[in-house]
Amino acid sequence: DTEVTQTPKHLVMGMTNKKSLKCEQHMGHRAMYWYKQKAKKPPELMFVYSYEKLSINESVPSRFSPECPNSSLLNLHLHALQPEDSALYLCASSQVPQGPSYEQYFGPGTRLTVT
Amino acid sequence: KQEVTQIPAALSVPEGENLVLNCSFTDSAIYNLQWFRQDPGKGLTSLLLIQSSQREQTSGRLNASLDKSSGRSTLYIAASQPGDSATYLCAIYNFNKFYFGSGTKLNVKP
């Protein structure tokens, strides 16, 4: 099973709402990632978790709060978002945090619209 | 900082043509390079991974090469099909990060 799943597929939320995005993998990967992708742009790295600990935060605003409850799950908690945060949010995982055989597997994404 | 460039930004070809997509990078200190395919509004599908010690990888009609000394990688697609229409992204991995190119949008016309 080389699948990364993400829920929900689509999310519409107001600027005062609190919502969460969920990502799951059962490949035994110990590194998990959140990316943000705007239309016609490449993915931008937001957070990296290695062995369930936050290892990279790319200066993401605090209205985005990641959580890695265990090695299979990754959440992204959203609060007080802005319309410019509307984007496709992608989750990815990899077998090891670093090394030349490292390969990232991506989920299908959550399309987020902030109204 | 690693910078990754993909040229052309868009490409339209008739079905059956062989084609080459280009990816260039500024820092040759890489762990590996990965080619992805992305359909509109969807996630990324991994196509090929080339480790830094390798020169090329092949999968079906796809062949990817890597020349670290010149900072270049190419993705060769043989006998293109309309189903190959998508955006193709290359990504360099080093120091715990992926650096993505901006992609080449491919349209294969029937």
User: How does pLDDT run across A55-88, given as a tens digit for each residue?
Assistant: 889 899 999 999 999 999 999 999 999 999 999 9
> In angstroms, rounded to a whole number, what is the distance separating the alpha carbons of residues A68 and A58?
17
> In the structure encoding, which two tokens stand for residue B6, read together?
């993909």
Q: Chain A residues with CB inside 8 Å of B88's CB?
A: none
Q: Which of A56, A105, A108 sits opposite B42 (nearest CB)?
A: A108
State the distance between the two ends of chain A, measured CA to CA, in whole angstroms.
Answer: 36
Of A18-22, B27-31, B68-72, give the lowest mean pLDDT range: B27-31
Instruction: For chain A, say whether B5 makes contact (Cβ under 8 Å).
Output: no
Q: How confident is the model at residue B98 (pLDDT cuts 50, 70, 90)?
A: confident
pLDDT (average), residues B41-68: 95
User: How does pLDDT run across B7-20, given as a tens digit for each residue?
Assistant: 999 999 999 999 99
Q: Which of B31, B44, B53 sits opposite A106 (nearest CB)?
A: B44
